[in-house]
Amino acid sequence: MVLSNYTCEIDHSHKTFISKSTNKPYVECHHLVPIAKQVKFKYDLDQLANLVSLCPHCHRLIHYGQDEEKEKLLKKLYYQRKDHLKKVGIEITFSELKRIYEISNN
């Protein structure tokens, strides 16, 4: 979260609140390629390249939102991170990532 300067990587202007425990803006850590899919990957998914900082709204949207909205967020994060992911051995296409998030191709 320090790398993102405690901001949402979807949009740095997203407002959050100051955390009592850290005295920093509250953001949540999200694995772009979910840890639950580790068995499908040779390299460890719990790496900095696979971690993104999200405001609570975007974090919930990426898990529970409508496909169209989820896809927009995932696309932005994927293209920001795909080269970093590849450098640490996590190779995945955007189509594969959409499948993991159960986003239909309609």
- Is the pLDDT reported for residue 13 higher than 90? yes
Looking at every residue in the chain, the average pLDDT score rounds to 94
The model carries a pTM of: 0.90
- Type and span of the H or E element at 75: helix 67-87
Look up residue 18 and give its two tokens: 């100051």
The range of the structural domain enclosing residue 103 comes to 1-106
State how far the alpha carbon of 91 is from the alpha carbons of 13, 45, 73, 97, 104, in Å: 30, 11, 19, 10, 21
- pLDDT 10s digits, 49-64: 999 999 999 999 999 9
DSSP 29: E
68: left (phi over 0), alpha (psi -120 to 50) or beta: alpha
Count the Cβ atoms, other than its own, within 10 Å of residue 99. Answer: 13
Rounded CA separation 24/60 (Å): 20
Smallest CA-to-CA distance from 25 within 38, 15, 34, 33 is with 15
pLDDT at 104: 83
pLDDT band at 90 (very low <50, low <70, confident <90, very high): very high
Q: How many domains does the chain have?
A: 1
